[in-house]
Structure 1
Amino acid sequence: MAKRAQNKPVTILRVVRGGYEPVAAIDAEFHAGLPLGAEVTATIDRAKSNDSLRLYWGFLGWVVENRDEFGNSRALSNALLVETGHAESFNLMDGSLHVFPQSIAEMDAAEFQAFCTKAFDRIYGEFDLDVETYKAEMADKAGGRR
């Protein structure tokens, strides 16, 4: 069970016929602790898939391996978040501007997908590295392991 910024519990549920079921044991424990008949509120967000996250971080790692501009995937991710407008900025007390990238953990599936499209387009436009080339290279490597 994850915690949101407001310290409100967040459980992950899977859609099943007739409703939802907790995904993990901790989610089930939380729900089991609610009294029968309790009314709760819910905000439905589609979680990012692990496949999407693996593609994002894998592609960024591949870009870092093929370019010298960024020391690691996190630095590239932060740059992409800022450049695509997923950041907040504020002035420090000394008057200097500080830019703080949004966490991808705060994005729902649709927002993350839209961000990935912009980020991947930006990488292609800047470095001529394409996510489809990355996917093909990974598929070739996986095929060679058989």
Structure 2
Amino acid sequence: MAKNEKPQIYVQRRGNYLVPEMATDADLIQRLPIGQRIKVTVSEGRSPAKLRLYWSYLGRIVKACECAPSPEALHDVVKLHTGFVTPVLVKGFTVAVPKSISFASMSESEFDDFLATAEKWLVQTYGISIKDAFTEAAA
């Protein structure tokens, strides 16, 4: 976190109220001065667990199929084949540049859409769903 960057506070909506998600969020809220006007910028929080699941899924496909040198390489292939790219014109040729799936680049619902599209392509191409990847590993 940059020196001038304020820590993020995560809350969940309960009726018409925003409730701290974790104890650390409640602690940060307690530090705010009572009665002071506070600016809140609303954005969806991303799920680190879901992102870890995606990377683990890619890792298991790479291990099972030896289809790429790394999960990162397979990730780029997934983005290219699913159209998750930005077309860039270079010397008269259009080049597909893979987009980012970073927390800053997309919302949780956008990541959900990307994950569903990625899984569909991975199942069609390698025959391994997320469920299969983790069921077979447990067996």
Q: TM-score, with normalisation over the residues of structure 1?
A: 0.69
Cα distance in structure 2, aligned partners of 1:23 and 1:68: 40
- The 3-state SS of whatever aligns with 2:39 is coil
1:48: Cα distance to partner? 2.0
2:81 matched to which residue of 1? Answer: 83
Q: How many residues were matched structurally?
A: 134
User: Which region of structure 1 is more displaced relative to structure 2, 102-111 or 12-21?
Assistant: 12-21
Matched ranges for 1:25-104 at <5 A: 32=31, 37-50=36-49, 52-92=50-90, 94-104=91-101
1:103: Cα distance to partner? 1.5
- The 3-state SS of whatever aligns with 1:70 is coil
1:122 matched to which residue of 2? Answer: 121
1:119: Cα distance to partner? 0.8
- Tell whether 2:24 aligns with 1:11: no
1:94-128 Cα offsets, whole Å, 9 max, x none, are 33433222211122222112211111111111122
Letter in 2 for 1:45: E
2:111 matched to which residue of 1? Answer: 112
Q: TM-score, with normalisation over the residues of structure 2?
A: 0.72
Structure number with greater CO (CA < 8 Å, separation at least 6) is 2
RMSD of the TM alignment (CA)? 3.4
User: Any unmatched runs of 5+ in structure 1?
Assistant: 3-7, 141-146
Contact 1:46 1:110 in 2 (8 A): no
2:131 matched to which residue of 1? Answer: 132
Instruction: Report sequence identity in percent.
Output: 21
Contact 1:89 1:97 in 2 (8 A): yes
Cα distance in structure 2, aligned partners of 1:85 and 1:77: 12
- The 3-state SS of whatever aligns with 2:113 is helix
